[in-house]
Structure 1
Amino acid sequence: MPLPSAIPPLLAAHDLTVTTPDGTPLLQRISLSLGAERVGLIGPNGAGKSTLLRVLAHRERPARGEVVSRGRVALLEQHRPSAPGGTVAELLGVADVLQALERCDRGECTAQDLTCIGDRWQLRQQLDELLASLAFAPAVLQREQTSLSGGERSRLRLAAQLLTAPDVLLLDEPTNDLDSQGRGALYDLLAQWRGGVLVASHDRDLLHRMDRLLIIERTQLRAFGGGYAAWAEAEEADAQRRRSHANQAKAELARVTRHAQVVRERQARRDAHGVRERDTGSQSKLLLNAQRERSEGTSARLRDTTARLQQEAREGWRQARAALDERDPIQIVMPAGRIAEGSCVVQCTDVAIDAAPGVPLLRQVTFAVRGAARVAFRGPNGVGKSTLLRMLVGEHPVVAGTVYRGVPRADWAWLDQHTWLLNPEHTVLEAHAAAQQWTGEHAKGQARALLAHFGFRGDLVGRRIDTLSGGERVRAALACALGTLSGDDAPRCLVLDEPTNHLDLESLAALEQALTSWRGALLVVSHDARFLAALGVSTTYEVADWRPERRDR
């Protein structure tokens, strides 16, 4: 009796090569398969995660190899288009069907309505269940798309993909822009998903829920059988092993070098002794010549032996150092940003902010930031967090109340959520020049030094902003906002709006490490609880407490 055959994968790629439009390899001759499982895809910014997902979804053609899918594949892309007009029902592609169902309910059904509905008579029930799973009420279908926050739009774009009844979900940074409620809804949905899921993400809580990981490293794909916590532990153990090996190799090179020096000095003393005996004539010339020949032979063998040992030690150190540095980790270096203890950074008293003229957003906003405080503003998508930060940096008007800035606006550094402050047609170096308004070769050298600390070394400063990945744009924007490594010229207040969006895990760890050394004031909006914990936030404000509907109670 023949054994049953293995279940074929839902999605598979064979001998795949993926390149950039100019032919630069991103992935070379990789293979992967995806079954009914949850798989995380991680790798540095610009490594090719988004491109790989588009290739797997048949949105782009690979340079080599093939992709085979069994069933329907849905892709949620990272970069969302600008919101068009129309309702959420139109965004989901169900407006016509819902209108046809309503006419049928009124007894006004036409043949065209029946054709439009097809087999979707249960669409309203399906929508209610789907929207509830993503933390929406059914009434959201009537909302205008232009009224949606970034997080709401992301969840609804996922809902549109789920309506196609896919067998495989390909998700590109799905938790970017999502608030805590939205993230929780996504986590629950994926936990219950019975198909295949491949998720490119830097969200550590999401990656912790994966069955296994795929890691992009230097154009290759490496598999790890476990979630984020196990992978991070294994990575740290491997890094520790490489550091230990490098230290041992360096110590061995130093030992061999010292030994070679001892051998040379010892042989030099013997040679000098032989010369003195020859000069005194205390021994026969024949004996002296024999001793010299033996000494020269011994010296040659010692030189060869010590040279070989030194070469082996140097090669061992080179290989160990290469293994230690092969990933070339990003190290973000922040200026000190010092501020006097207890000095007023900003104070708001009964401030009122409108989303648009005559449209109230926040009321009676009252708080103060003093000294090197670390302040977080939290709240659901659309509550007004980003608008509040724009008001604090002077880019959004107040309609009532007072805002006192003890730190002049010139001493504030501002990283907006979508890096709109960067001109997409500028190079990274040109963007820094435009942000800091510098000219001249000396200033250019200083700018290059700063940008190198944010991962833009050498020719990378010549890349255009519109060619950067999301994480690279964030690093470039932060470098442009800070402007300098000099503590004297550094900003005294740093304002960050969702800075972890789009950052890869390595850049995220580097940013967390850099911000721990920041000694100025820090105002931040983030839905990443691990990030806020790493920063040591001292004060947290719930922005929803300043909403008009709460103030009117």
Structure 2
Amino acid sequence: MSTGTTHVTCQRLVFDWPDGTRVFDGLDLAIGPGRTGLIGVNGSGKSTLLKLIAGELTPLAGTVRAEGEIGYLAQSLTLDTEEPVDRLLGIDRARAALHAIEAGDVAEEHFTALGDDWDVEERTRAVLDQLGLAHVDLDSTVGRVSGGETVMLRLAALLLRRPDVLLLDEPTNNLDLRARERLYAAVRAWRGVLVVVSHDRELLEHVDQVADLRDGQVVRFGGTLAAYQEALAVEQEAAERGVRAAEADVRRQKRELIEAHDKLAGRARAGRRAGETAGLPRIVAGARKRAAEVSAGKHRILHEERLADARERLSEAEAAVREDDEIRVELPHTAVPGRRRVLTLRELELRNGTRAELSVLGPERIGLVGANGAGKTTLLNTIAGRLAPTAGEARAHVPLRYLPQRLDVLDGALSVADNVRALAPSAEPHRVRGHLARFLFRKDGPDQLVGTLSGGERFRATLAALLLAEPAPQLLLLDEPTNNLDLASVRQLTSALTAYRGALLVASHDVPFLRELGLTRWLEVADGEVTETGPS
């Protein structure tokens, strides 16, 4: 690995999307050795910045420089399911050459392909074992491993290359708890430059610094996410105090300006009366009047300048306060009486062979955990009626709604408001728009086509449509709802679910998120069974 003090630099970086939307306008950034957590709201440009550093996108202006080799793990992986595992890992040529030499073929081309990498298989096995992939056959194909294992194989390929700069974009999406722990360990062990984009709060506790991308610029803080958020909270509290003080100053200056006007008007009236009664010569009275007007004008200008200064200080104070809006919504119609039967799973057998017996009463909040491929999504799809069980019964006794991982509930060709009305046909337009405002769709927001929304916006639109649907859902099924959501959106989701009064069944690998929901039960899908478990 290279030894310079700075490995990645962006200078006066400018980037536009093909439609002319500007993402960066003069971004400056320098990242040195260590682990950097890159955070920011959805749409702020985090993934775009990683692609610019990796060379997958070209800036409109400015420069991007990286010292040494770059390894990049994209958020969305499109892989050939027929590709051999050893080729995905980048060791197929060296491995084939090694096997040829071991078989007695001493052609020079084999030695050239192998180089000094005589322990290629042992080194690969060590990395795979580190990432929990010891069971993966190097001669098998990518299609024979799960989605989470595919992500870990791609990470293994990067670790085997030993790049100087490692870029990871939402690496824990779709990883189960064990795989996440292994990824955390790999991040902790990294000794080069690492930049990770993530909403995973546990992962961001293993970084050396946080870089917050906001309004096209980066603010950095030395420390973990928790330390950064604590410092930010103190800063925002001070900023809000500054706004209150500045508002008070504006009110005071307005009051003093009005009082000054009243005093000057009073003096002017008194002066006119005194002139009339004193019988002063007209020229003397006129001179006094002009002097009084000049004095009054100076006094008025002084107070107006003070008011303008106070307003400027208020604008500066308001600019220092972040406006990360929270969803605030009351959902009384979703309430479920304490002893009402909500869901029954009786002798249920899923398509993958998993069996389940379950009874849900009242507004229970249940977390569903388990390894990738264990059957959590299959269980939710079966309860929602999207899949038929092999045997037994899954019966919901109350209206339910399902939020799948792919957020494919809404029609992309319709507006946000039209999608909500499709699920709540009796709702009047002004009522729909009022509800959508609470989900942060204001002004023209309800008229946006769902197909044009960002990931975070689409998520909010889907959540709004489900929670406002008719009849009101008293059972809500959520499948990995925090995937691809920024930290602000996760807070918004938590806020909305706090207002929800019905029963929840949430499948997630995001343990901090599950803990914040106030769960009453935890279920684990493992070894073909759905069983009660303790908090993770």
TM-score using structure 1 length: 0.83
**Equivalent residue, structure 1, for 2:124:** 127
Distance 2:146 2:330 in 1: 33
**Equivalent residue, structure 1, for 2:110:** 114
Please list the CA deviations of residues 177-213 of structure 1 after superposition, one character each: whole Å capped at 9, or x if unmatched: 1111111111111111222111111111211211112
Counterpart AA for 1:426: A
Which residue among 195, 217, 221 is the counterpart of 1:220? 217
Counterpart AA for 1:230: A
**Equivalent residue, structure 2, for 1:191:** 188
8 Å CA contact 1:471–1:501 kept in 2: the answer is: no
**Equivalent residue, structure 1, for 2:39:** 42
Alpha-carbon shift at residue 320 of structure 1 (Å): 2.9
Alpha-carbon shift at residue 453 of structure 1 (Å): 3.7
SS of residue matched to 1:190: helix
**Equivalent residue, structure 2, for 1:544:** 526
1:420 to 1:157, Cα distance in 2 relative to 1, 3 A: farther
Alpha-carbon shift at residue 343 of structure 1 (Å): 1.3
8 Å CA contact 1:429–1:448 kept in 2: the answer is: no
**Equivalent residue, structure 2, for 1:474:** 459
- 2:355 is equivalent to residue 392 of structure 1: no
For structure 1, the residue ranges without an aligned partner over 5 or more in a row are none
Distance 1:65 1:257 in 2: 46
8 Å CA contact 1:433–1:439 kept in 2: the answer is: no
8 Å CA contact 1:12–1:33 kept in 2: the answer is: yes
Distance 1:302 1:164 in 2: 74
**Equivalent residue, structure 1, for 2:405:** 417
1:345 to 1:285, Cα distance in 2 relative to 1, 3 A: farther
For structure 2, the residue ranges without an aligned partner over 5 or more in a row are 532-536
Which residue among 499, 520, 530 is the counterpart of 1:517? 499
Please list the CA deviations of residues 382-414 of structure 1 after superposition, one character each: whole Å capped at 9, or x if unmatched: 111111111121112112222221103xxx232
1:287 to 1:264, Cα distance in 2 relative to 1, 3 A: farther
Alpha-carbon shift at residue 271 of structure 1 (Å): 7.5
- 2:365 is equivalent to residue 374 of structure 1: yes
**Equivalent residue, structure 1, for 2:398:** 407
| Count of residues in correspondence between the two structures | 525
8 Å CA contact 2:523–2:530 kept in 1: the answer is: no
1:299 to 1:95, Cα distance in 2 relative to 1, 3 A: closer
1:214-293 correspondence to structure 2 within 5 Å: 214-262=211-259, 284-286=278-280, 293=289
Which residue among 426, 430, 450 is the counterpart of 2:413? 426
Alpha-carbon shift at residue 29 of structure 1 (Å): 2.1
Distance 1:353 1:143 in 2: 28
Distance 1:366 1:36 in 2: 52
8 Å CA contact 1:25–1:219 kept in 2: the answer is: no
Alpha-carbon shift at residue 330 of structure 1 (Å): 2.7
Please list the CA deviations of residues 3-57 of structure 1 after superposition, one character each: whole Å capped at 9, or x if unmatched: xx98353333333222222232212222333333111111111111111111111
Distance 2:168 2:66 in 1: 16
1:304 to 1:61, Cα distance in 2 relative to 1, 3 A: closer
**Equivalent residue, structure 1, for 2:325:** 330
**Equivalent residue, structure 2, for 1:501:** 483
- When structure 1 is superposed on structure 2, of 89-98 and 497-506 the one drifting more is 89-98
**Equivalent residue, structure 2, for 1:436:** 423
8 Å CA contact 2:210–2:223 kept in 1: the answer is: yes
TM-score using structure 2 length: 0.85
8 Å CA contact 1:17–1:62 kept in 2: the answer is: yes
**Equivalent residue, structure 1, for 2:22:** 25
- 2:175 is equivalent to residue 178 of structure 1: yes
Give the RMSD, CA atoms, in angstroms. Answer: 3.7
Distance 2:330 2:26 in 1: 42
8 Å CA contact 1:330–1:507 kept in 2: the answer is: no
SS of residue matched to 1:481: helix
Alpha-carbon shift at residue 170 of structure 1 (Å): 0.7
Distance 2:448 2:163 in 1: 37
Which residue among 53, 68, 83 is the counterpart of 2:65? 68
8 Å CA contact 1:128–1:138 kept in 2: the answer is: no
8 Å CA contact 1:212–1:227 kept in 2: the answer is: yes
SS of residue matched to 1:80: coil
1:315-354 correspondence to structure 2 within 5 Å: 315-324=312-321, 327-336=322-331, 337-354=334-351
Distance 2:437 2:79 in 1: 32
Please list the CA deviations of residues 311-333 of structure 1 after superposition, one character each: whole Å capped at 9, or x if unmatched: 44344334433433xx4323223
Which residue among 535, 539, 548 is the counterpart of 2:517? 535
Counterpart AA for 1:534: E
Distance 1:247 1:295 in 2: 37
Counterpart AA for 2:416: L
Alpha-carbon shift at residue 231 of structure 1 (Å): 1.1
Please list the CA deviations of residues 495-548 of structure 1 after superposition, one character each: whole Å capped at 9, or x if unmatched: 211111111122222222332222222211111121112111111011116439
Distance 2:7 2:78 in 1: 29
8 Å CA contact 1:432–1:479 kept in 2: the answer is: no
Alpha-carbon shift at residue 147 of structure 1 (Å): 4.5
Percent of aligned pairs with the same residue?
Answer: 35
8 Å CA contact 1:96–1:116 kept in 2: the answer is: no
Distance 1:267 1:74 in 2: 73
1:473 to 1:128, Cα distance in 2 relative to 1, 3 A: farther
8 Å CA contact 1:334–1:515 kept in 2: the answer is: no
